[in-house]
Structure 1
């Protein structure tokens, strides 16, 4: 009878170190993305109910003023939209984003027109909706990059889903720069017209909206000929749209 032979143990095959590192990196990236998604949803949800007292852009403007030796005081006075004149929200919709009540954060037709305009080498034209501007100013940094633009799309969809139109518009009316170092309609009304946003007339609200594209260059208090023409155009658009345009947000 042949003796039993002891078979040699199978050799243990170890994974290359590169595979181990790749696994660690993938896990780290996936965890980071998961934490970011959870954190951003919590952040956006909290700001649905809490006033947005300051934004990254306000901080940037403050440091710019300090570095230039100017007054760095920020003029901002949060006011619920219910405490504002109905002319205020109507003016920004008429001037900035007339499809705001119906789109899901993006105006693709305007984006296409802006792309064609810019492709021809003309002066750069933007096509950001009110929702996109809120997402950028509240949650992100200034500048142009694919990463920032991608995050802007993400936060725009998030606030459209979680906040809804009324809250988006309310935040915009409080954080948009309406004059040098001045943010929001209530602060602008107090500084330039010596009243609260609740008492703004159609012409006054339209004049604030007229400077929104370039609030450092133009003034609602001392309007240039351009601002006066732009104010008249916005007031006409407000009459055409009517207050019903924003009542069912």
Structure 2
């Protein structure tokens, strides 16, 4: 019995230590630009150990050297209540959960109707919708793994609230725009602007910024399809909504 309690105590100590580590990282991020994120390091390892040549593009630029067009476009596309919420948009999260449940149910029905064919080919997995805010995305990319579990989601929400309490909205957006993925080995607004438009992030037009914002959920996919009709259409929609996006 003592061994069990010792094990429980060790788990608790390890858990508390991990939370303190996260809090220190977040506190440092208030004044020190993060050199890399957990997601970036995992991507760097994947690219370095793959068959393709290793290419990495990232250049940190301060908040004022990122076009307001891009800030507004990302907020309009990813999190239109970013400037006013406290880190988590519970309504969007609930809607995403409901959409995922319906998608899972449809997939289960399709598999049941085609049980014979499913023995020959694996059923197509439904698309998972996130519903995460910009702060949640930063918490996940900066500190956590990409696994999809309830425990990881719970940790993400805890870190999201810590980010909102310890960093300003402007700083959260600055770190996000400098670290988010925009293609294979392309990270941050400056690298994305130069990679796709051969110009600095400060000079992005409204439509260019809207296209970059639309790419965010699937950057590697859209990097290979620059002439995508969906990308152009959605970018036009985001460009029209940008004037209503509130900057922090």
- For normalisation by structure 1, the TM-score amounts to 0.84
What's the offset of the Cα at 1:74? 1.5
2:3 aligns with 21
Gaps of 5+ in 1: 1-17
1:1-249 pair list within 5 angstroms: 18=1, 20-121=2-103, 123-219=127-223, 222-239=226-243, 241=244, 245-246=246-247, 249=248
Distance (whole Å) between structure 2 residues aligned to residue 63 and residue 32 of structure 1: 26
Gaps of 5+ in 2: 107-126
Distance (whole Å) between structure 2 residues aligned to residue 221 and residue 185 of structure 1: 19
How many equivalent residue pairs?
Answer: 226
What's the offset of the Cα at 1:52? 1.9
Checking the alignment, whether the CA contact within 8 Å between 1:210 and 1:231 is kept in structure 2 is: yes
Distance (whole Å) between structure 2 residues aligned to residue 91 and residue 176 of structure 1: 14
Ranked by relative contact order (alpha carbons within 8 Å, sequence separation 6 or more), the top structure is 2
- Greater Rg, structure 1 or structure 2? 1
Any idea what the Cα deviations from partners look like across 1:168-189, whole Å, max 9, x if unmatched? 1111101111122111111111
What's the offset of the Cα at 1:140? 0.5
Partner secondary structure for residue 84 of structure 2: coil
Checking the alignment, whether the CA contact within 8 Å between 1:185 and 1:197 is kept in structure 2 is: yes
Checking the alignment, whether the CA contact within 8 Å between 1:58 and 1:74 is kept in structure 2 is: no
Checking the alignment, whether the CA contact within 8 Å between 1:211 and 1:218 is kept in structure 2 is: yes
- For normalisation by structure 2, the TM-score amounts to 0.85
Q: Label 1:24 to 1:63 Cα distance change in 2 as closer, same or farther (>3 A).
A: closer
